[in-house]
Amino acid sequence: MQMVIQAGAHFTDDAQLLDLLQANAQVLRDNQTAFWGLRPFRKIFRPALKPSADRPSQQETLMRFQKLFPGDQHVNRAILSSALYLGERPSIIMDGQFYPNAGQRTAYLDHLFSDSTVELFVGLRNPGSFIPKVLMLLSAPERAHILTSTDLSCLSWLAMIEDIRDLAPDVKITLWSNEDSPLIYGDIVRALAGLPEDTPLEQEFAPLAALLSETGKQELKGLTEPQPTPNDPVFRGRLAQIFQQHALTDAIEEEIEMPGWSEDVVTAFTELYEQDLARLQTMPDIRFLKP
């Protein structure tokens, strides 16, 4: 069995990945792959991941999970999709770090599925937009506590990834930048499902089309109507060009509603984020998906 945890992060992908998995359910079924969204986390894994003495045993957790498997299908790859596997709302920013419990939680899942190969998939997002979205999600007291106790300028994805690598060294990690997601949703789904890189998918380009002007949609349709080879570099370059030229500003730019969070702050975080992405892409034990 191959266990795949698609763990967000929060405010990435907006359910497009789950929609694409659902649109290609038959392809996944033919590949002996099953997938689930948020419900298993809430019903099974949330109590198991609580650091308390009364949490269910691993055997009980596994038995409850195995009951979800379809009786008429042999499954050799299972995908669990929810950002909550990394951490829940109060712990997204805590102890001066993004998801400080992510390493321990991943290690628990790796131990739980010790008879399986465990893979972790995470989309990363520019902290310049991620941090204010997290803070505005919290209650006023929670937000005030973080602002008074945390040096936000030190928040980085590197610490989270390094914790996961240290505490769960056997877990295979796949990352991507959420800013690239519109161009690589198909690649992410193929990687999640363990499909060959040239496997065509239903509605693969629907998330990208939703971000384009009418002219862009027509150009995208003309490019993709003949069945494209997804990993063809010429096709990739044309896809990126359409996105650059025809993306709707309102669709790709979000207003940051947190007081005092200026463009200069975002620019500073963007520079650090790009440095972190460059470093992550050089790590030999991490797969990084790019357009």
In the chain the domains, ranked by start, together with CATH numbers, are 2-201+265-289 (3.40.50)
Nearest CA to 243 among 277, 291, 290?
291
CA distance 3 to 78: 5
Residue 122 phi/psi, 5° resolution? Answer: -140, 130
Across residues 180-203, what is the average pLDDT?
95
Least confident among 137-141, 156-160, 165-169: 137-141
pTM: 0.95
At 37 the three-state DSSP class reads coil
Q: Kindly provide the residue ranges of all beta strands, DSSP E only, lying in 178-240, ordered along the sequence.
A: none
The winner for highest mean pLDDT among 69-78, 207-216, 229-238 is 207-216
Residue 112: HSE in the Cβ half-sphere, 13 Å Cα cutoff: 24
Q: Are strands 172-177 and 97-98 parallel, antiparallel or unpaired?
A: unpaired
Per-residue pLDDT band at 176 (split at 50, 70, 90): very high
- % of the chain exceeding 90 in pLDDT: 87
CA distance 182 to 121: 16
- % of the chain exceeding 70 in pLDDT: 99
Query: How high is the pLDDT of residue 254?
Result: 80
Least confident among 7-21, 54-68, 181-195, 218-232: 218-232
| Residue 53 confidence (pLDDT) above 80 | no
Per-residue pLDDT band at 30 (split at 50, 70, 90): very high
Tokens encoding 71: 């009786």
At 165 the three-state DSSP class reads helix
Per-residue pLDDT band at 257 (split at 50, 70, 90): confident
Query: How high is the pLDDT of residue 258?
Result: 87
Q: Kindly provide the residue ranges of all beta strands, DSSP E only, lying in 160-255, ordered along the sequence.
A: 172-177
